[in-house]
Amino acid sequence: MGIFSFLLKSDSAKPEPMPLKVDMHSHFLPGIDDGAQNMDESLRLLKTFEDRGYEKIITTPHIIQDLYQNTPDTILPVLEKVKTALKESGSKLQIHAAAEYFIDDRFIEMLENDEPILTLKDNLVLVETSFLNEPAYLRDVLFKMRLKGYKPVFAHPERYLYLQTKKEKLEELFDSGVYLQINTMSLGGYYGPPALKFAEWMIEQGFVHFLGSDCHRVKHLEPLEKAYQSKAYKKLRELPLLNDSLL
Ligand SMILES: [Fe+2]
């Protein structure tokens, strides 16, 4: 009876939640950042997401001053190539491209000069920061984004050391209206126990608006599968996530 009741209570006994329709953070455009390296890898990743029930992928190549100087001109032509190849392969998956903007001097310049910013949808812009240190001007940049009419979506806060060690800063971001996006793989422990623990706390508090795979390569497919089976993923899916509003 002991073992049987354990099985009944176990996480795996619960059915998996309905799949989300939209994934809004990934690196699937070949050869322009540290994501998919070629078209074959892109198509394999996209097909796997389609098989999992996703209807739309918003892929988000890095834009980082010293590493990946992408612009709409480097991103959108590659998107068109992937769209064509995907269609030719018989897929019905929709694919859109935005970007994951690293908050640095170049990003501030883009905002100040009113350069075109790629959005997830409407005025939603995905941003990231250093994993270790909070940028000195974080609040100013988020404020400036709002002044320019953008809504910041903060990528994977659960992975940032400066937030893990100061939860009240995360709460401040939430209270200020910044959207918060957790990485799916954090929920299966892929980035280590601190990120999982912090993600679980965010879920408990309801401080989550979006879930994103942040999938870069085929190697990530296995930890993603593990995450879908996790207790934290099932708990998160009880929250009213905004992913499918991006369809
Ligand atoms: Fe990313």
Start-to-end CA distance of the chain, whole Å, equals 46
What pTM was computed for the model? 0.94
**Ligand 1 center to 214 CA (angstroms):** 5
Residue in 238, 246, 245, 165 with CA at minimum distance from that of residue 203: 238
Provide the pLDDT confidence category of residue 3 given band limits of 50, 70 and 90.
very low
Structure tokens belonging to residue 205: 């508090």
**Ligand 1 center to 88 CA (angstroms):** 27
**Ligand 1 center to 61 CA (angstroms):** 7
Structure tokens belonging to residue 222: 């296995």
CA 205, 225, 212: angle at the middle one, nearest 5? 45
Mean pLDDT computed over 79-98? 98
Provide the pLDDT confidence category of residue 17 given band limits of 50, 70 and 90.
confident
**Ligand 1 center to 25 CA (angstroms):** 6
Provide the pLDDT confidence category of residue 5 given band limits of 50, 70 and 90.
very low
**Ligand 1 center to 205 CA (angstroms):** 24
Exposed / middle / buried, residue 210 (Cβ in 10 Å: 0-12, 13-18, 19+): buried
Q: pLDDT tens across 150-204, in order?
A: 999 999 999 999 999 999 999 999 999 999 999 999 999 999 999 999 999 999 9
Task: With a cut of 70, say whether residue 4 has pLDDT above it.
Answer: no
**Ligand 1 center to 206 CA (angstroms):** 22
Q: Which domains does the chain have, with CATH numbers?
A: 21-246 (3.20.20.140)
Q: Which of 1-15, 122-136, 199-213, 217-231 has the lowest mean pLDDT?
A: 1-15
Residues 6+ apart with CB under 8 A from 197: none
**Ligand 1 center to 6 CA (angstroms):** 37
State what percent of residues in the chain have pLDDT above 90: 92
Mean pLDDT computed over 17-31? 95
Provide the pLDDT confidence category of residue 13 given band limits of 50, 70 and 90.
low
Tell how many helices (H) and how many strands (E) occur in the chain.
10, 9
Task: With a cut of 60, say whether residue 225 has pLDDT above it.
Answer: yes
**Ligand 1 center to 59 CA (angstroms):** 9
Provide the pLDDT confidence category of residue 12 given band limits of 50, 70 and 90.
low
Mean pLDDT computed over 88-96? 97
Q: Which of 15-29, 32-46, 115-129, 173-187 has the lowest mean pLDDT?
A: 15-29
**Ligand 1 center to 3 CA (angstroms):** 41
Determine the pLDDT at residue 18: 83
Exposed / middle / buried, residue 79 (Cβ in 10 Å: 0-12, 13-18, 19+): buried
β-pair type (22-23, 62-63): unpaired
CB 202 within 8 A of CB 164: no
Which residue reads 């905004």 in tokens? 242
CB 221 within 8 A of CB 45: yes
Determine the pLDDT at residue 180: 98
Q: What is the mean pLDDT of the chain?
A: 94
Determine the pLDDT at residue 144: 96
